[in-house]
Amino acid sequence: MDLERDLGSALPGLRTSTSPVDKIAYARDLWPRHHLEVQAGRIAAHEPGAVAWPSSTEEVASLVRFCADEGVPIVPFGAGSGVCGGILPDRRTVVVDLKRMNRWRALDRDAPSLEVEAGAIGIRLEEELAGAGFTAGHFPSSILCSTVGGWVAARGAGQCSGLYGKIEDMVASLECVVGRGEVVRLERRTRGPDLTPLVIGSEGVFGVVTSARLRLHPAPATRSFGAFSFASIEAGWTVMQELFQRGLRPAVARLYDPFDSFLASMGAKKRARSAAHGRPKREPNALQTHHIPGAGAVALRGLLRVPGIVNSLVDALGDRGLVGSQLVLVFDGTVDGAAADLASASAIAARHGGLALGEEPARHWLAKRYAVSYRQAPIFMAGAFGDTMEVAAPWSKLDGLYRAVREALGKRVFVMAHLSHAYPDGCSIYFTFAGSGASPEAELQTYDATWRTALDAAIAAGGTLSHHHGVGRSKAPKLGAEIGLGVDVIHALRGVFDPAGVMNPGNLVPREAPARRPAPPPPAAPVVDRASQLVHVAGAATIAEVERALAPHGLSLGLGAAAPPIDRTTVAEWLAKGTPGAPDPWVDPVDHLVAGFTAALPSGAELEVRPAPRRAVGPDLYALFHGLEGRAGVVTSAHLCARGPERARELSTRLDRDAPVGEAVRGLLDRVVAAVARVPRGGSAP
C-alpha cells in the first residue's frame, strides 16, 4: 500500500510526514543498543513508513481505526526517552507522536487533580503546576524529555517516589483509544474492579493513552536536607529500611556505593576550591566529563576492555580506601514536619554509624538532579558504551540481588550502583555500567552478553527485571522467567484491547514461546519475612491466622472497621471483595498491600507473580483478582505487606475512591474476564 496516499485520503485533516528526516528521527528511542547499531553504520534500519501528529482524541481514534482496518502497525510515541527498545518500527508502521496533545483539560483545586493530555512534557507540566501552587510529585531523570503518556506506558518512577509514589499511585483515571478506535475512560477504584493497572505499564501494546487525570499535592512549603556517610553500603541500606518501616517518607532517599560516593566527594572538593578562588564550578561526571580529549578517550577504552581488573581494584580499595557510602535525604512538607522528620532520620543514621555531612551534598544533588540523563553521550563519543539497569527486591533478598547482579555485570563491564525508590518492603538498585570492545560488532556482542547474564542473575536472586524503566525489547526474552504464565495472560489481554494486533507489535512480550516457571504451592502456614515486613499466606487461610502470625513480630495488616469478620473470612475471599477495611492506598502511596501472589485461572492454569517492591514488567496482573469476586480466577497465595506500630504522615485527597462502573467499562471487563478464562494450562505459544 502507499501509506502516505492512503493516510491522506482516509484522514485528510491529520498532520503526517513521510520525509526521510522525520522517519530517521522517529526510528528509535534511547535504548543504548541503538547507539551501538549507529556506531556500526546501521543508522536507519528501523525507520517507520510515516509519522503522525494528532491534535485530539478524535484524530487518534480515527487513526487507530484506519490502522486496525488496514492491518498497519501503530507505535505510540511520547518523547523518545525510553531506554529499553520500546520504539522499533518498520516501513509499514505509523509512529504516532502525541506532543501536540499537551493541553490541560481541567484543574480541580479541591480534589486536587489535573486532567492533562498525554503529550504534555514533564518539566513544563511541573513548572506550570508550581505556578498554580501544586505538584504531581513525579520527577523522573528524563523529565526534560518525557511525557505524561510515556510515564504511564512505562510504569515510571520519579526521584521523589519516597513520598509521592510511582506513576501508578498518581493516576486517578485514564482516557485511552483501544481496539478498533474505541475511546474508553478507566477510573481507578481502590476496592475494584479497576482496569487502570492493566494499561499502566502496557508500553503501547494495548492502546494509546490520550489523557490522564493525575492526583496533585500542595507544593511543599519547605524542604529539609541531610546527607550521611556510612562505612559500607549495607549499613546505608539498613538505615533506608528502618526509615521507611518506621513511617518516615523522605521524598528523596538515594544511597551511593563507595566509588560513586568517592566521585561525589571529589566534586565537592573541587566546588569548594573553586568557590574559594572565585572560579566557576565544574561538575564531575560519574564516568567522564562532558569533553573527552583524544588521549582520555583512548585511556577510557583501554580501561573498559579490562573491566574485571578495574572492578577488582575498586573492590580492593574498599569502603575505607574510598569514602564509604553516601546517603542523600530530602524531606518535603511543612516547616515543622520536614524538620522533625529529618531529625528522626538523623537519629536513625547515627545509631547505625552514619557520619553527618550537612545539607550541601543533598542541596547540590537537588540542583543537578537531571544532569545524569546527559552523561551517556561522552561515553559513546569515546568509542565505548554505557547503560543502566534497575532491579528491585524485598529487603530480605536485597543483599543477594546486589551481589549477584554486580558480579554478573562485572565480568564484562565496569559497574557501580546506587539505591533509590525505597518502600517498607524493599528497594530498587540502580546499576550504571560501561564497557568497550575492539570493534563495534565486538561491543554489540559484549553488550548483549552482559544483559543476558545480568538479567539471569536478577531472576535467580529473586529480584524483578525492572522497577521503573519497563521491558521494551531489551528484557522481553526474560519476561517469562519472571512472570511465567503471565506472558500468556498478557497475550490474552492483547486480544481484547487490540484485536487487530497492530499496537506496537514486538514490544514488551517475547515473540518466541518463553521458558516458564511453575507456580509454587501455597505455604501450609503463614511465613513471616520480618526484614521485609511481608507475610506469605495461603489464600485458604483466614485473616485471623495472618494476624496471629504477625503479632509476635509487632506487625499487623492494619485493618479498619470496614473489614469483614477476620475469623471467618479467607485471604482469597477478602482479596476478591477488594480488601474492605485495608488501609487507604491514597493516604500513603508508598505502601501497598500485595507484593506478590499466585492464582488459579478458570482453566486450572497457575499464575505466579513473585514478591517485589513494585515492578515495571508490563501490566499489573493483580488487577485481575482484586475486587472481581473470583471471576478471573482465585488467589491461592499472597505476599501481604504488614505494618508496624508507627504510621506515615497521611497525604490528604478528596478524590473519589470508587466511582461507578459504566457500561463501556463493564463490557470491556467482561471481555477481559472471558479472555483470561481461555488461557490454557501450561500456557500457549505467542
pLDDT score for 471: 98
Q: Is the pLDDT of residue 286 over 80?
A: no
Cβ-Cβ contacts under 8 Å for 12 (sequence gap 6 or more): none
Q: What is the CATH number of the domain that holds 137?
A: 3.30.465.10
Set of cell numbers at residue 476: 522481553
- Indicate whether 287 and 357 sit together in one domain: yes
Residue 509 lies in a domain: no
Residue 327 lies in a domain: yes
**β-pairing verdict for 325-333 and 634-641:** unpaired
**β-pairing verdict for 50-53 and 94-97:** parallel
pLDDT score for 335: 93
Q: What is the dihedral of CA 151, 156, 160, 163, to 10 degrees?
A: 110
- Indicate whether 396 and 278 sit together in one domain: yes
The residue out of 47, 80, 97 marking a domain boundary is 97
Residue 74 lies in a domain: yes
The number of residues in the chain equals 686
- Indicate whether 173 and 230 sit together in one domain: no
Residue 468 lies in a domain: no
The residue out of 203, 218, 233 marking a domain boundary is 218
The residue out of 197, 218, 239 marking a domain boundary is 218
- Indicate whether 411 and 556 sit together in one domain: no
pLDDT score for 283: 46
- Indicate whether 457 and 315 sit together in one domain: yes
Residue 507 lies in a domain: no
- Indicate whether 401 and 299 sit together in one domain: yes
- Indicate whether 88 and 112 sit together in one domain: no
- Indicate whether 239 and 372 sit together in one domain: yes
Q: What is the CATH number of the domain that holds 350?
A: 3.40.462.40
First to last CA, the chain: 27
Q: Model confidence over 473-500: pLDDT tens digits?
A: 999 999 999 999 999 999 999 999 999 9
- Indicate whether 87 and 159 sit together in one domain: no
Residue 512 lies in a domain: no
Grouping H, G, I as helix, E, B as strand and the rest as coil, residue 627 is coil
- Indicate whether 557 and 596 sit together in one domain: yes
Number of domains in the chain: 4
Q: How far apart are CA 202 and CA 471, in angstroms?
A: 9
Q: How far apart are CA 513 and CA 500, in angstroms?
A: 20
* Number of Cβ within a 10 Å radius of residue 405: 26
pLDDT score for 680: 93
Question: 168 with 619: CB under 8 angstroms?
Answer: no
- Indicate whether 384 and 267 sit together in one domain: yes
- Indicate whether 324 and 213 sit together in one domain: no
The string of DSSP letters for 259-296 reads: HHHHHHHHHHHHHHHHHHHTPPP----SS--S---HHH
Set of cell numbers at residue 400: 543477594
Question: 535 with 549: CB under 8 angstroms?
Answer: yes
Residue 471 lies in a domain: no
Q: How far apart are CA 423 and CA 178, in angstroms?
A: 33
Residue 41 lies in a domain: yes
Q: Note down the domain range covering 186.
A: 104-218
Q: Is the pLDDT of residue 212 over 50?
A: yes
Q: Model confidence over 391-430: pLDDT tens digits?
A: 999 999 999 999 999 999 999 999 999 999 999 999 999 9
